[in-house]
Chains A and B, each alone.
Chain A
Amino acid sequence: MKKENLIQYIYGIADNALILGQRLSELCGHGPSLETDIACTNMALDLLGQTRSYYQYAAQLTGENITEDDIAFLRTERQYKNVLLVEQPNNHFGYVITRQFFYDVFHLLLLQELQNSKDITLSAIAKKAIKEVSYHQRFSSDWIKRLGGGTEVSRQKVQEAVNDLWKFTDELFQLTEEDKSIIESGAGADVSLLKEKYYQIVIEVLEEATLIVPELKWFRKGGKEGVHSEHMGYLLSDLQYMQRTYPNMKW
């Protein structure tokens, strides 16, 4: 197993957590209600905590003098391996919840596999994160149902988000060349096998929320290869601002 492949594999998982965490933290002080504001920032905190564990491990693997902060703040857009779904903008609360729900279902399935990794560090991070992510999934599933079964406006807004974000779900199950080599070594989780289970869970919740399951068969991809949507550049300029403006600054 090549070390560089493992590092890229870790980025693939950790960048999802970082970027989704960044999107959620944009809601700090801007949530639609106090409770949802606190919930989104709490979930952001969990995700950033997980990100730190992954990045610390990746930094250690490089054997060079780099830190978790270098990985988070000093890479260029093409070097981020997150899926397109997590970088999509907040737009309105329907989007925030749908993006969260689409990712949470995948995230939990991924971690359930990753806890069996032969790599003890990845396994430990996954076992810790499972507890947090199951709570996220409960929160986002509940809200999908509340919005879907709520008022005419809430239903229309969440349906709009479901229709719009559906095209980003298939990318979750794609494998990069690095993924394949890590799966072969026993350290990685084969996400391509999670697809059926994923849509089963997602569709069940959408139906309970009386929402229409999109029939779209055309999906977008690219994030895992570092080819992102236009939103990513704006997100990164926000995320990286302090380190770019004041290099090496510390808290």
Chain B
Amino acid sequence: MTIEIEQHIDPKLVSILEKVSDPEIPVLSIMDMGVVRSAQMVNDIVKITITPTYSGCPAMDVIGDDIVNAFKQENINAKVFLVLAPAWTTDWITPRGRKALEEYGIAAPLEEDADKEALLGNKKIVKCPQCGSTNTKMISQFGSTACKALFQCDDCLEPFDYFKCLK
């Protein structure tokens, strides 16, 4: 389950994979999330490897089942494998994925250094996805899921999730 592989996805399978979304963030497809590492048709069976965002991410089992079901609807048998290396990073979220996050009300991850400054409260740089103000503050280092921290906007006063940078 942990053999190191490079990302290698058969373009013909992308449209099916894009139909599967992260159950915790339904607007984000697993392709935009960057968790699909490979997808290949081998002897009429599609073999797909996915990698977790966090070790304990409870969404992985559901994502695995959803992938198998998505292919079943196209009358294709699919098998899903889990890999740990290389470890997932927020850099793998596509630009389209970042946009979807923002529209959904989750602030997309900043670059590593900026992320640290924001989480340590040194700089006000996380942009509120509701009103666009950067007059925001962290209220909890951990949010509704392991990948997020909880922020609040001091201008529109709305609380929101910030997707933490993971490198």
Contact = CB atoms under 8 A, between A and B. Distances in A.
Contacts of B46: none
B140 A57 contact: no
A48 interface: yes
Given A120-B2, A131-B87, A46 B139 contact: no
B142 A128 contact: no
Interface stretch (B50-58, B92-100, B103-111): B50-58
Interface residues of A, number: 30
Contacts of A135: 141, 164
B91 to A, nearest CB: 12
A34 B140 CA distance: 9
Interface string A40-73: 0011011111101100110000000000000000
Contacts of B119: 138
Contact of B166 (A38, A50, A57, A131): A131
A57 B56 CA distance: 15
A35 B148 CA distance: 13
Contacts of B52: 49, 128
Contacts, number: 85
Contacts of A121: 1-2, 84
Interface residues of B, number: 29
Tell which of B83, B84, B139 has the most Cβ of chain A within 10 Å: B84
Nearest to A17: B55
A139 interface: yes
B85 A38 contact: no
A49 B2 contact: no
Listed from nearest, the 8 A-B pairs whose CB atoms lie closest are A49-B56, A49-B55, A124-B85, A45-B56, A35-B140, A124-B2, A42-B142, A39-B142
Interface of B: 1-4, 52, 54-58, 83-88, 119, 139-146, 150, 164, 166-167
18 contacts: A35-B141, A42-B142, A45-B54, A49-B54, A49-B56, A53-B55, A53-B84, A120-B2, A121-B1, A121-B84, A123-B85, A124-B2, A124-B85, A127-B84, A128-B55, A128-B87, A135-B141, A138-B141
Given A49-B52, A53-B1, 16 more contacts: A38-B144, A38-B150, A39-B140, A39-B142, A45-B58, A46-B54, A46-B56, A48-B56, A49-B57, A52-B56, A120-B2, A124-B4, A124-B83, A124-B84, A128-B84, A138-B119
